[in-house]
Amino acid sequence: MGIDFVDIAQAIIDGLLFGSTYALIGLGFTLIFGAMHKLNLAYAASAIAGAYVGLAMITLTGLPSVLAFFLGPIASGVIGFAVYVTCFRYIPTTNMLAPLMASIGALFFIDEIVIHATAGSPLSFPAVMEDIYLEFGDFGFRGDLIFVLAISLIAMAVLMYILFRTRLGLATRAVSQQPIAAELCGIAGHRTNAITFVVTGALGGLAGCMAAAAVGVISPLLTVPITVKGLIVTVIGGLGSIPGAIIAGFAVGGFENLFLLLFGVNQRDIYVFLLLFVFLVFRPGGVFDTAIERD
């Protein structure tokens, strides 16, 4: 089978569209890291759990399936708040290992609750705009992936607005730059961090719904791969860099699909990880190399 230019371009296009979910997950990791200088490994688990809650709501009440994309993020926001309170709020801030470990505990806990509730079997997730297929010359654009891209672009725009145009965003950025100085200026540090967790949780829930809609099924088995891909996006984008995470998300999505075409499903991830190592060795600060050296 020959692989010609059109196949490669088509694979990259599909990957870029799906990469928007990676971008959202990477954004969540990077925002929490920016705010607290800590890693929340339960993040992808809460995203998937939120998507499950959204799915359960529309299945149980018979609401239109688009509503899953609103209910899922709300549920994930609540879970994000719970993760903050249980894993970060009451552990001393100088302790780096304990909250990381606690968030791994939360990852197990959330995953197991989902497995318990669904008896471990994957459920099918409703796709939106599935029957639309746009064609431009040799290239096609899957309607459900376009929907995913559109939603994530809107989410990113809203996030940017909150971060850079509202008092809440100002407080978040202040706490992330100088927590003590921010506290002295009258900003409630814990409250700001909690809000960051809720906002990023909602973002994750949206990403979880979109990943599930694009794949077609939702399963707790998605959690670990999404966590790993999200972390890769965070590192390639540069820890704490918001535009970096967005660019890296699309890039990882595109490269992943390209590697899938070139090397097959068994070896795809090897090349994604090698890409990560290339960045770690040559650009450890990420694509935009922001000046976060206070780790």
Partner 1 sequence: MAFYFGLLQTIGIHTLLGLSAYILLLTGQLSLAQVGFFAIGAYVSGILTVIFEYHIVPGLFLGALVGGLFAFLVGFPALRVKGLMLVVATIAFSEIVRLFFFNLNWRVSVNGVEVGPDSTQGFREIRFYAANGWDTLDVVLFVWLFVVIVMALLWWLDRVRVGATLRAVGADELAAQSSGVNIVAVKVSAMTGGGIIAGLAGGLYAHSATYVDHLTFSVLLATFAVAYPILGGLSSVFGTLIAVIFVQGVLIEGMRFLGDWRNILFGLLIIIAMNVRPAGLIDGKVVLRIREALGTGKKSGGEGHAETR
How many other CB atoms sit within 10 Å of the CB of residue 292?
Answer: 16
- Does 289 interact with partner 1 (rule: CB under 8 A)? no
Residue 292 engages partner 1 in binding (rule: CB under 8 A): no
Where residue 289 falls (left for φ over 0; alpha for ψ -120 to 50; beta otherwise) is left
Using the rule CB under 8 A, is 177 a contact of partner 1?
Answer: no
Query: Where would I find the beta strands (DSSP E) of the chain?
Result: 123-124, 133-136, 139-142, 217-218
Q: Is 287 in the site for partner 1 (CB under 8 A)?
A: no
Q: How far is the CB of 33 from partner 1 (least distance, A)?
A: 7
Residue of 24, 28, 30, 40 lying closest to 84 (CA atoms): 40
- Interaction residues for partner 1, span 146-175 (CB under 8 A): none
Amino acid type, 99: P
Q: Binding to partner 1 (CB under 8 A): which residues in 27-56?
A: 33, 39
* Cα atoms in the 13 Å half-sphere on the side-chain side of 169: 9
Question: In this chain, which of 99, 220, 237, 253 binds partner 1, going by CB under 8 A?
Answer: 99
**Could you say whether residue 274 binds partner 1 (CB under 8 A)?**
yes
* Interaction between residue 183 and partner 1 (CB under 8 A): no
12 binds partner 1 (CB under 8 A): no
Q: Does 121 bind partner 1 (CB under 8 A)?
A: no
Site size for partner 1, by CB under 8 A? 48
- Using CB under 8 A as the binding rule, whether residue 107 contacts partner 1 is answered as yes
Among residues 83 and 149, whose Cβ is nearest to partner 1?
83
Using a 10 angstrom Cβ sphere, with 0-12 exposed, 13-18 middle and 19 or more buried, the burial of residue 138 is exposed
Beta strands in 120-268 (DSSP E): 123-124, 133-136, 139-142, 217-218
What is the pattern of x (binds partner 1, CB under 8 A) and - over residues 211-250? -------------x--xx--xx-xx---x-----------
Record the tokens describing residue 138, joined without a space.
């040799």
Contacts of 205 (CB under 8 A, 6+ apart): 46, 47, 50, 51, 54, 72, 73, 74, 75, 76, 77
Instruction: State the minimum distance, in angstroms, from the CB of residue 165 to partner 1.
Output: 29
Least Å distance between CB 270 and partner 1? 5
Residues at the site binding partner 1, with contacts judged by CB under 8 A? 33, 39, 86-87, 90-92, 94-102, 104-113, 115-116, 224, 227-228, 231-232, 234-235, 239, 266-267, 269-270, 273-274, 276-277, 280-281, 284, 295
